[in-house]
């Protein structure tokens, strides 16, 4: 393998994993935009997506093309439930209180997954048959194509939703100014519920498309959550496009770190570069420096 | 002496008596660990609760100091006092170097910056195997000894840890009531307004960041010479999150809250051991419930309870008189 094709290989595998970071980051962004909450349970949504698909297949005997949407649907319902039971009853409290509540939720979801699914590591079959594709000396797994395709569709769908639909615009209005939005007749509560549903949905999607490539277990949510948060900060908190780009960039940095430096230090390499980027642009790559009201 | 110091004195007296009332030595161990967490939580509360700056990487300072003194005393045979001094010095020096660029970040960006730093340090603990022993940890760290006196029993160590905790609490209490404390609170309310009023915000933020790292370093050094073994998992992202949870659950900008948060979250998993397997679920549920029903944290909850008890007592005392009772906070 030549140096160029090795580099291409790192970029491909990095972008594949990074797509999941990007989808997790998108989930963070959507909830942050309507509530200012950093949802620590976001990584657990990603974990649940992968795990539920595995177990629908294993225990329920549900065929894969059905198991995947089923898993995503169940996680979406979990997201709605989390909002109804733990966030809505205490609305109006400081974001910090809510953030600690989401830490509690993540402990609960992880503990529940451990009890139900056990501590083993599982893998999901690839979405389609077929061997790896040769691409200028690098190999591309067919599952990577699924990952890129689904991520792209999700991002386009999101963009359409926020730009072209009334509900999407209403959600953006809540992000700008909750009170003004509510005075304009927007039902803020529903928008918050919707944002939890959305972020659980995209998180679960990210988990389920990655599960055939990397393995999944009850405790993968912590690291995926951290990476997702890092990605949305890197992209500029609040910017959905930046979140996805941030995720893919983080994945590629990590993969290059593993390939060119050492696999043990791959996360360290990614985070050092990320910190350098943050010091250079303190509001993220695509974030706008906001004027602070005194 | 005023009310603040009277409270601390009463607490110190209670802490001194507690070891004689315990049913067994197991609780002594839990109390020592909660004492270490108290030191860390009080330090972190100075940064988070008073100055309003988040840190999701405090476990790194805890670990840097523990590993430094562990390596120097265990591997290289330094005397314990020198190892601890080096641990404190290294941890605070690193904190200063990190603080200068990191504290330019704000809010969630600052949380991310400190988180990233914490993860990098954690990875070094795991990967620098020759120095740190890698994932399996570093053994052979000597017990704490000062001038020939070895603190080997749990009871002796209990007094060392809680003595340090009370001293550091006193220092924090004096700090938040000083001019410095007012400046920190001003930064918390509005950094821009504070700087317009002539507060050198960057300098104060760096100072309190380094100070809170120093608290974590003291905790780390005392940890290393108590357990005599350190491994990376003790200083992971999970520990940083636990520390933040202790501060918020205890009560932001309340030093007593930090003590309550540290005690509560150290004892809770021990109590829940009885319901093995389900302990983690109940732990999560209790954490959620506490945050939902006690917005001001445990400190506020305790205050309310105290107020209710006091008004009950007063009412009982005033029974018979026509104009009894009163308004309790």
State the smallest CA–CA distance between residue A185 and chain B in angstroms: 28
CB atoms B287 and A115 under 8 Å: no
**Residue B200: φ, ψ to 5°:** -75, 85
- Look at residue B142 and tell me whether its pLDDT is greater than 60: yes
**Which residues are CB-neighbours of B102 under 8 A, at least 6 positions away?**
A275, A279, B110, B113, B114, B117, B209
Asked if B18 has any chain A CB less than 8 Å from its own CB, the reply is no
* Chain B residues near residue A38 by CB distance under 8 angstroms: 108, 111
Q: Which CATH number characterizes residue A197's domain?
A: 1.10.3470
H helices of A120-257, in order, are: 142-164, 166-176, 178-183, 188-210, 221-235, 240-256
Instruction: Give me Rg for the CA atoms of chain B.
Output: 21
CA angle B5–B8–B10, rounded 5-degree value: 110
- Look at residue B303 and tell me whether its pLDDT is greater than 90: no
CB atoms B104 and A282 under 8 Å: yes
Q: Stretch B201-209: mean pLDDT, rounded?
A: 92
Which among B30, B36, B44, B18 is positioned nearest to B245, based on CA atoms? B44
The boundaries of the domain holding residue A154 are 3-280
Residue B327: its pLDDT value, please? Answer: 41
* Surface of B (71-110) touching A: CB under 8 A: 101-102, 104-106, 108-109
- Look at residue B324 and tell me whether its pLDDT is greater than 50: no
Quote the mean pLDDT of chain B: 90
Q: How many domains are there within chain A?
A: 1
**Residue B145: φ, ψ to 5°:** -140, 135
Asked if B287 has any chain A CB less than 8 Å from its own CB, the reply is yes
Residue A10: its pLDDT value, please? Answer: 94
* Chain A residues near residue B115 by CB distance under 8 angstroms: 226, 229-230
**Residue of B119, B121, B127, B236 for testing the chain A interface, max A β-carbons within 10 Å:** B119
Domain ranges of chain B: 3-236
pLDDT, one tens digit per residue, over A87-112 is: 999 888 888 888 999 999 999 999 99
Nearest C-alpha in B relative to A98? B291
**Residue of A233, A250, A281, A292 for testing the chain B interface, max B β-carbons within 10 Å:** A233
Alpha carbon separation from A138 to A2, A16, A141, A212, A263 (Å, rounded): 9, 14, 10, 19, 19
Q: What is the ipTM of this complex?
A: 0.89
User: Has residue A114 been placed in a domain?
Assistant: yes
Pair B69, B130: CB distance under 8 Å: no
Residue B5: its pLDDT value, please? Answer: 81
CA angle A144–A154–A203, rounded 5-degree value: 80
Mean pLDDT of successive 10-residue stretches along chain A, which has 294 residues: 87 94 94 90 96 93 93 97 93 86 95 93 90 86 94 92 90 84 89 94 95 93 93 89 93 92 87 89 77 46
CB atoms B287 and A96 under 8 Å: no
Nearest C-alpha in A relative to B127? A264
User: Residue B145, SS3?
Assistant: strand
CB atoms B112 and A96 under 8 Å: no
Could you give the CA distance from residue A90 to residue A99 in angstroms, rounded to a whole number?
12
Q: Stretch B297-304: mean pLDDT, rounded?
A: 88
CB atoms A275 and B192 under 8 Å: no
Nearest to A278 among B105, B190, B287 (CB): B105
pLDDT, one tens digit per residue, over A4-15 is: 889 999 999 999
Residue B320: its pLDDT value, please? Answer: 55
H helices of B106-178, in order, are: 107-127, 129-132, 154-176
Between strands B145-146 and A138-140, the pairing is unpaired
CB atoms A268 and B119 under 8 Å: yes
CB atoms A115 and B281 under 8 Å: yes
CB atoms near residue A131 (< 10 Å): 8
The reported pTM is 0.91
The overall longest dimension of chain A from CA atoms, in Å, is: 62
CB atoms B190 and A233 under 8 Å: no
């Amino acid at each position: 393998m030549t140096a160029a094709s090795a580099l291409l290989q790192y970029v491909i595998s990095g972008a594949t994993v990074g797509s999941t970071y990007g989808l997790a980051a998108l989930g963070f962004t959507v909830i942050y935009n309507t509530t200012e909450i950093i949802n620590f349970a976001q990584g657990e949504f990603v974990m649940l997506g992968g795990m539920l698909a595995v177990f629908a297949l294993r225990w329920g005997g549900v065929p894969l093309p059905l198991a995947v949407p089923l898993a995503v649907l169940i996680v979406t319902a979990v997201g709605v439930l989390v909002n109804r039971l733990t966030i809505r009853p205490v609305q109006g409290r400081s974001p910090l209180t809510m953030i600690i509540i989401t830490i509690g939720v993540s402990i609960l979801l992880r503990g529940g997954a451990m009890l139900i699914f056990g501590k083993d590591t599982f893998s999901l079959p690839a979405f389609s048959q077929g061997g790896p594709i040769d691409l200028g000396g690098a190999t591309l797994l067919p599952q990577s194509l699924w990952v890129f395709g689904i991520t792209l569709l999700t991002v386009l769908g999101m963009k359409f939703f926020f730009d072209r639909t009334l509900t999407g615009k209403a959600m953006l209005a809540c992000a700008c100014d909750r009170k003004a939005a509510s005075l304009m007749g927007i039902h803020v509560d529903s928008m918050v519920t919707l944002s939890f549903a959305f972020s659980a949905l995209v998180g679960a999607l990210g988990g389920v498309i990655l599960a055939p490539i990397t393995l999944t277990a009850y405790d993968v949510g912590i690291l995926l959550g951290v990476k997702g948060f890092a990605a949305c900060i890197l992209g500029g908190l609040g910017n959905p496009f930046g979140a996805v780009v941030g995720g893919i960039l983080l994945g590629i940095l990590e993969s290059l770190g593993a390939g060119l430096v050492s696999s043990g230090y791959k996360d360290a390499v990614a985070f050092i570069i990320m910190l350098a980027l943050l010091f250079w642009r303190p509001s993220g790559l695509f974030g706008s420096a906001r004027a602070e009201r005194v | 002496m005023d009310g603040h110091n009277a409270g601390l004195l009463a607490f110190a007296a209670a802490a001194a008596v507690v070891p004689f009332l315990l049913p067994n030595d197991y609780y002594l161990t839990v109390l020592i660990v909660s004492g270490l967490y108290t030191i860390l939580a009080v330090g972190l509360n100075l940064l988070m609760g008073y100055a309003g700056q988040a840190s999701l990487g405090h476990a790194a300072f805890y670990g840097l100091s523990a590993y430094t003194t562990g390596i120097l005393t265990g591997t290289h045979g330094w005397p314990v006092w020198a190892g601890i001094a080096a641990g404190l010095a290294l941890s605070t020096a690193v904190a200063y170097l990190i603080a200068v660029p990191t504290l330019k970040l704000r809010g969630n960006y600052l949380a991310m910056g400190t988180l990233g730093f914490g993860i990098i340090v954690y990875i070094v603990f795991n990967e620098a195997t020759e120095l740190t022993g890698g994932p399996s940890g570093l053994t052979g760290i000597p017990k704490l000894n000062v001038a020939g006196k070895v603190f080997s029993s749990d009871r002796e160590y209990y007094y060392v840890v809680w003595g340090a905790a009370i001293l550091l609490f006193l220092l924090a209490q004096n700090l938040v009531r000083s001019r410095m404390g007012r400046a920190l609170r001003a930064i918390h309310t509005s950094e821009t307004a504070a700087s317009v009023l002539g507060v050198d915000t960057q300098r104060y933020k760096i100072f309190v960041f380094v100070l809170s790292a120093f608290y974590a370093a003291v905790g780390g050094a005392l940890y290393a010479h108590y357990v005599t073994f350190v491994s990376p998992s003790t200083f992971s992202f999970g520990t940083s999150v636990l520390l933040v949870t202790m501060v918020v659950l205890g009560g932001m900008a309340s030093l007593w809250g930090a003590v309550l948060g540290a005690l509560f979250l150290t004892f809770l998993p021990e109590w829940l051991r009885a319901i093995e397997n389900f302990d983690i679920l109940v732990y999560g549920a209790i954490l959620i419930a506490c945050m939902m029903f006690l917005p001001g944290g445990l400190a506020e909850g305790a205050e309310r309870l105290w107020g209710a008890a006091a008004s009950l007592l007063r009412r009982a005392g005033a029974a018979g008189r026509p104009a009894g009772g009163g308004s309790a906070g």
